Each structure stands twice: as C-alpha cells, then as structure tokens.
Structure 1
Amino acid sequence: MKLHHQIFLAMVLGGLAGAATSESTRLLGLPLLPAYDLIGELFINALKMVVVPLITTAIISGMINVGEDDNLGRLGAKTVVFYLATSLIAILVGLVVVNLIVPGVIDGEPAKDLLGLAKETDQALQSIEGRGAADFTEILRQLLPPNLFQAAAETQMLGLIVFSLFFGYFLRTLRGAPGEHLRQTVEGIYQVVLRITMVIIRFAPLGVFGLIAATVTRTGLDAVEPLALFFITVLLALALHMFVVMPLLIRFLAKRSPWRHLQAMTPALLTAFSSASSAATLPLSMECVEKRSGVSNRTASFVLPLGATVNMDGTALYECVAAIFIAQAYGLDLSLTTQFVIVLTALLTSIGVASIPAASLVAITVILGVIGLPAEAIGLILVTDRLLDMCRTAVNVWGDSVGAVLLARSEGEEDVLRRPMRELDADPL
C-alpha cells in the first residue's frame, strides 16, 4: 500500500478510534488517551530530531553540486535571484490569502477549542507576548550566531542556514584531496540523513493515527471545519501562484505561451503530484524541459538540479500559511514584525527542505519555534499534509521548469517553446 493511502487509512482509523473512546476509556486496564498522545509525541520528536542535520546537509550538498565553475557566473547569479524572487512572491501570495480567509478563526473565535489547543494557549501567548519592532535586531543577530552548536541546540536555524550556504560555497572551491574527501563525507552524511528521514516519514501513518485519535477523543469531530478551511486556503494560494503568477512571467518575460509550456510539462507535473518528490521527478522534468519545451541541455542541466534543491515555491508558501493558520488557531494577533519573521524563515528554510515527501513538516517546526509556538501544534495539519504535499510538489516542479524557460530566453535561446503542438500531442511522454 502506498504511503499516502496508509496515511489516509490512518486518518480514518484515528478518527473512528477517537470517536469511539473518551478521555476515561481504558483497554486492558490502561488508559487509551495517553497511548494516543505517546504515539503522536514520538513521531513529532523524531521529526524534531532530524531538523538540524537534514537542513544543514541539504544546503551544503546543494551548494556543492550546483555545477561546474564555468556555470557559476552570469547564469548562476540569475538562477539564484530568480528562485529567491519567485519563492518570496509565493510566500507573499500565501500571506495575503491566509490573512484574507483567516482559516484558524471560526465564527469570530479562534479554533483552539475545536482543535484541542486550549491547554497550551496560555503558554503560547506568554512566549510571544511583548514582541515588537525591536525583535528585528534579534533576527539579524541570529543570522550570524557566535556559537553554532548553541544555535543548533536552541533550534535557531537562521544562523545555521547562513553558515551552511557559506560552507557549501567555499567547500566546492576547495581543491585537492582534502576538499574531495570532505565533499564526499558531507554527501555521505546527507544521504544517511535522508534515509533516516525517510524511515521517520514511513512511520507517519502511526503518528497521524495517534495525533488524530487524541484530538478526536478530546474534541470530537469539530476539528473538520477549520481544517477544511485551511485546506482550501492552501489550495487557493497554490493555484494563484501556479496558474496566475508564473504564467504571467512566461508571457511577459519569456514572451512565450504559458499554455504550451503547461502542455509540455504535463508528464512531469503528473509524476510530481503522484510521487510528492521533486528529486524523483527530476529526470522526467529535464526530459520535458529539453525535448518538449526546447530548453538547451546547458541551461536545463544547471537550472533544474539547482531548483530541485533550493527552489521550493509551493513548500515556502505552504510553510507560511501553515504557521499563520496555527497562530490564528491559538488566538495570536500576529504583528507585522512577526509575520515578517515567518516570511523570512519560510524563505530560508525552503532552501534547505530536502526534495522528498513530507520533509516540509520538519521546516514548519523550525518556523513555529522561531515565532514561539510549540512544535506539537504541527499535528493540526498532518491530516491534510499528504494531499497538500502532492499539490505543492507539483508547484515546486512547475516553478523549476518556468525558471528554466525564463533563464534560457534570457540567454538568447530562440527555440524555447517553439515546437508545434501536434508534435507534443504525438509525444509518448
């Protein structure tokens, strides 16, 4: 059974188990509610355990593998600027939509009671109380921490991300045996951390079961309404970015047909949606971009692998919406400063999110920690995470392909999106 089917089944079983039990229900003399809590807590702790090694090694590995030195000039600079700009636009789209819909507030009241958050609300309010414009200086301090190990222990990921970017860039310029050995070591660590993360994600159905069963046991099925609004909010924001913002860039910057590029990328987008993995889709993405969209191998081989590592438009948007939804459900009135922190952290952590299913859950725990919310609140969004993961992965892959088209056109390539439609229709892809 595929993972998303397992998670869906776990969600249903968790809801049924929670509906069939109360806080005093016992099985073989043991209370069930603490057992539900333990299962969910173990899953959350496992995600938190891999936060630091996953994001740091992902960024360093991505910087090492960005391409040969002759590709790091003009094309490299334009690629990085484009990816950062589109990720920022995606986050701002999500920010506007979630503030307009306010999915964490139901009938004028925070959804904390419906979601079983009441017992932690006071603590969350105390942790964020008194924050204001002066916190901006603290954000700048976190960008360059004096002690990386202390920053890691306190989950201050901003400084670790900045250090990882510098470390990866200069490591790729280190010649000779020491540089090669260190690069192989970092890549080996990254691959091991990926495997550990995948094992944790494999246990997601159990974690979802425990978290959903505990929530339904405490609150019943009233959590459906705010989660449905959250789901719709994310889908609307993703759709705006994918079908409005990015096509406008193709039309006005590349001066080509967005519809033709969408047709060219359909096989890759379907694969991305079904696999929820940018990395797994990368070979097919390169095939579609080169053979169906007409981008040169020189541009595609540099832009797409880099994009699979650092360009996560859909993920960045989702992280922003999820964090603000949770804050709304807690009844927090987020100031502009705090929302700026969310935008900045979503932008930086999206760079370090590994291109594997559900890895963004790790990044969301980072954002929650930065704004002072408990990481356990991530349990609110696990019910809808798998399907939204599939949607945002498709947006990620689409963003990479649009970047390849725009950058190819900026390099003077004239064959981009010139292939006749009838040839695309006959293509076996």
Structure 2
Amino acid sequence: MSKVRSLSLTSRIMVGMVLGVVVGFIFQAILAGEDDFLIPLGLFSLPIKAFFVDGIFHVGGQIFIASLKMLVVPLVFVSLVCGTCSLSDPKKLGRLGGKSILLYLATTAIAITVAITLALLVNPGEGINLPSDANYSAKEAPTLAQVIIGMFPTNPIDAMASGNMLQVIVFALLFGVAMALSGKAGKRVASVFEDLNTVILKLVTLLMNIAPYGVFFLMAKLFTTIDLKLITSLALYFGVVVFALLFHGFVNYSLLLKLFTGLNPITFLKKMKNACLFAFSTSSSSATMPITLETANKKLGAHNSVASFTVPLGATINMDGTAIMQGVATVFISQVFAVDLTISDYLMVILTATLASVGTAGVPGVGLIMLAMVLNQVGLPVEGIAIIIGVDRLLDMTRTAVNVTGDCMVTCVVAKSEGEFDEDVFNDPNAAKDLEDYHKSIN
C-alpha cells in the first residue's frame, strides 16, 4: 500500500484504469450475457450486476464525475473574471477571441480532412451488412442565429445553474471588463476574486485525490457492459477512427505547435498525460476542464489571463475528435448504403462539420447531432448512425482526450503570440511538482 501511495497521481490513475478494465472483463465473463449472477451467502444471495455494476461502480463513478463538474462553473467564471480584469488593454480580448476561434476552426477542418482521407484509403464500410432494424432519431440542431442569440444570457445565474458555458463565458468577460474600468471599486472586488480563485484551485487539488478511485469505477462499469462482439464486427471502422485520432493528436498538433511557437512537442505531450487520462476516463471536456486549466497554467506556462479564456472556449467549441468521427462515419455509412459521394460532397462535409463545431456548442449529444447534420447535408440516411452508435462510447473517450490536447495546444500558441507565456515553466520537467507532492501528502 505504501508503494502505491508513493506513486505520482498520473501513475495511480493508470493503476486505477488498468484494474478497472481487468475487473470489468472478469465481471463480463461471470455474467456471460445473463441479466445477473447470484452469489449464495447463507440466507440470501448477492446479485453481482445489481450490487457491483449498477450499484458500487455506477455510484462511485457518478460521484467522481459530479465532483469534477461541480467545479466547472465557479472555476471558469472566477478564473475568467480574474484574467479579464487584469488585462491592461481591453482590445486584447478581441485579439484573444479572434486567434482562438480561428485556430479552433482550423484544427477542426484539418482533423476532418485527415479522417476522410484515411477512410477513403481503407474503405471501412465495404462488406458490412446493414441491420434490418437500424433506426436512429436525430435531435434537431439549432440554427447559427439561435446559437449567436443564445450566447448572451438574460439571466446569468440561470446560465450558471444550467451549465450553459457560452453564456457563462460572455457574462464573465463583460463582468471582468467592467471591473477593470471601475477604478478603486473594481480593484477591491478584484482582490476578492483573486482570493476566491486561490481557494477554488485548492479545492481542485483536493478533489484530484479521489481520481484513481473514480477512474476505477468508471472503467469497471464500462468494460462490464460493453459489447465486444459489436467492436469485432466494426473493427475496421473502429480502427480507422482510433488511428485518425492518434495521428491528429500526436502528429498534427505537434507540427502546429512547432510551427507557431517553436516549442518542443515531446515536452508538450509529456505534460498532457494527466489531463488526457482524465479526459479519457470521463469522456467529458467540461468535466476535465479543472485539470486542463491546471495543466495549461501550472505545467505548460500559459498565463491565466489567456488560459482562463481559451480553455473554457475550447471545451465548448473545439470538436476535433468529434469531427474525425464524423469524417470516418460519413465515408463508412456511404459505403454501407452504396452511395457514391463526389469531391464537392466531401468538401461540403468538411465545411459543415467545421462550422457545426461552433453552431452546436452546448447541445446535449453534440457529436451525434453534428453527424446527423452532416449526413443530411450530403443526402445520406441518418439511420446509418444506428450502426456505429454501439461502439461510440469507447471512441468518445479517445476523442475527448484529443479535444483536451487541442485546447492546450491552442492555448500555448495564443499565449506565446500575446507574450503571456512562461517558457521556463514549459521547459521545466518539475513544473507543478509541488502539486504532485501535495497529492501524495494527502493520500
């Protein structure tokens, strides 16, 4: 036990993840397709699935996710207000916004282009028989006008309560600018927010201590219930998506980082381990946001005035991983239904998916909504989503890790361009070492 406690947080999360996968497979073998398996214990029997999978694993995993989501709104609001009110030039906000959105859209366009190219080379949909009961009902996506109007809150408290991050970001920016322009009164309020920011970041550090247990519960439940036969039948589609995600995460991001900043991509990727593990286990950019912000600020060296803006924005609109899934899925579904798409169709897919990454921000089930929009745009049946939806949970974990990596890459590029980047922190292998030591001390 003492050896486990001496491990770094990243190592303990890895241990929890591996153990969760192993336990999940063991439970799946025990259940063997049955509704449940009863273990006789004297006068009563213990149901494996009801007690462990739907009970302990489910409750433990959801508590972990809830504890992370609990921090998102206060962390984003307070951090963004602190960053905004510290800007000496209010025009800088316009530059930050313009650079960030342009980079996020550019990486999304690159991602889906790579995905379509790989899918056309591999042809994952050839030889797949369409299930006779395939059916999928797509939710209606909002129009661009609705999204723009919806960015501005009529009730900021309601926006925070409902977790509408675009509205929270807009209100925080306006509030921070107002503080910066309010003289002494603004400075007094700013000092309160700085103290609040310190307390919230300490709360993040405390909650990270339960991460290995939360990851174990999430992995154990997932691998108990996942359909391995379905993955086998869609192995080629699954493999193409995973390869495209890894290529984008390791190669494209590294090239862009080196091109725009001159920073060492290997150092960057090493420092992303923690955030990527959280993203993989939670499948949520929003839930991972506290760790992403901590990574961008404490490990990568991006100043809070930039990171507090680009990270929440990226968690809301950066859909690189989802765009890759859409690119491969579009080719896959077109081949399953034997529909030939033209070059103009593929260009329309790239354009639609790139713009939809902003246009569907904050909508539940965003990945499938975006895919339905893309399929409709090129005349493919939306019912094709039913074929791939069974393996989407595992793919969602990987693409969330890619999205988080993209958020931090864009943060580094924007921070470097604005002179708000500490290269000594980036190059220091022991940056944020105090955080790791603190995690160990309270374990």
Alignment of 1:394-405 (within 5 A): 394-405=401-412
Aligned equivalent of 2:200: none
- Check if 1:100 corresponds to 2:121: yes
The answer to whether residue 339 in structure 2 is matched with residue 366 in structure 1 is no
Question: AA paired with 2:103?
Answer: F
Deviations 1:356-393 (A, max 9, x none): 99641232223233333333321211222111100000
1:162 aligns to what?
A: 144
Kept in 2: contact 1:304–1:400 (CA 8 A): yes
Q: Which residue of 2 aligns with 1:258?
A: 265
Tell me which amino acid in the other structure corresponds to 1:391.
T
Counterpart in 2 of 1:240? 247
Residue 245 of structure 1 aligns with an amino acid whose one-letter code is N
Counterparts in 2 of 1:16-415, with a 5 A limit?
72-106=93-127, 111=128, 113=129, 115-116=130-131, 157=141, 160-168=142-150, 171=152, 181-182=154-155, 227-353=234-360, 359-415=366-422
Displacement, 1:413? 3.4
Q: How high is the TM-score relative to the length of structure 1?
A: 0.62
Separation in 2, partners of 1:66, 1:320: 33
Instruction: Measure the CA separation in 2 of the matches of 1:15 and 1:359.
Output: 33
Code of the residue aligned with 1:91 in structure 2: it is: I
Measure how far apart 1:248 and its partner are.
0.9
- SS of the residue corresponding to residue 143 of structure 2 reads helix
Report Cα offsets for 1:65-123 as digits up to 9, x if no partner: 997675531111111111111111111111111111110013xxxx2x2x325x989xx
Q: CA deviation at 1:260?
A: 1.0
Task: String of CA shifts for 1:216-268, please: whole Å, max 9, x gaps.
Answer: 9xxxx7x7665100011001111111111110111121111111111222111
Task: Report SS of the residue matched to 1:372.
Answer: coil
Show CA shifts across 1:102-153 (max 9, x none): 10013xxxx2x2x325x989xxxxxxxxxxxxxxxxxxxxxxxxxxxxxxxx
Structure 1 residues not aligned, in runs of 5+: 18-61, 122-153, 172-179, 193-204
Structure 2 counterpart SS, 1:72: helix
Letter in 1 for 2:269: L
Instruction: Find the aligned partners of 1:8 and 1:326 in 2 and give their Cα distance.
Output: 30
The alpha-carbon distance between structure 1 residues 275 and 366, as it changes in their structure 2 partners (threshold 3 A), is same
Encode CA deviations 1:321-372: one digit per residue, 9 max, x unaligned: 1122111111111112222222222222322555799641232223233333
Secondary structure, in 3 states, of the residue corresponding to 2:154?
Answer: helix
**Are the counterparts in 2 of residues 250 and 406 from structure 1 also a CA contact under 8 Å?**
yes
Q: CA–CA distance in 1 between the matches of 2:350 and 2:26?
A: 34
Percent identity (aligned): 35
Question: Conserved in 2, the CA contact under 8 Å of 1:250 and 1:258?
Answer: yes
Alignment RMSD = 4.2
What's the secondary structure of 1:164's corresponding residue? helix
User: Are residues 356 and 279 of structure 1, via their aligned partners in 2, closer, same or farther at CA, if it must alter by over 3 Å?
Assistant: farther
The AA in structure 2 aligned to 1:317 is I
The 1:89/1:306 distance shift into structure 2, 3 A limit, reads same
Deviations 1:289-334 (A, max 9, x none): 1111111000000110001101111111112211221111111111
- Asked if the contact 2:302/2:415 (under 8 Å) is kept, the reply is yes
Distance 1:344 1:383, change over 3 A: same
Per-residue CA shift, 1:13-32, capped at 9, x if unaligned?
99969xxxxxxxxxxxxxxx
Gaps of 5+ in 2: 1-16, 35-75, 85-89, 166-220, 437-443
**CA contact under 8 A between 1:156 and 1:370: conserved in structure 2?**
no
Q: Which residue matches 1:50?
A: none
Name the aligned partner's letter for residue 345 of structure 1: T
One-letter identity of the residue aligned with 1:308: A
2: CA distance between counterparts of 1:164 and 1:66? Answer: 24
Q: CA, structure 1 residues 370+184, in 2 after alignment: closer, same or farther (shift >3 Å)?
A: farther
Compared CA separation, residues 105 and 362, structure 1 to 2 (3 A): same
Change (3 A) 1:10 1:393: farther
Do 2:140 and 2:369's aligned partners in 1 also have CA atoms closer than 8 Å?
no
1:162 is matched by which residue type in structure 2? Answer: L
Q: Residues 247 and 276 from structure 1, CA distance in 2 versus in 1: closer, same or farther, beyond 3 angstroms?
A: same
The alpha-carbon deviation at position 282 of structure 1 amounts to 0.4
How far apart, in 1, do the equivalents of 2:80 and 2:31 lie?
43
CA distance in 2 between partners of 1:352 and 1:16 (Å) = 41
SS at structure 2 position matched to 1:381: helix
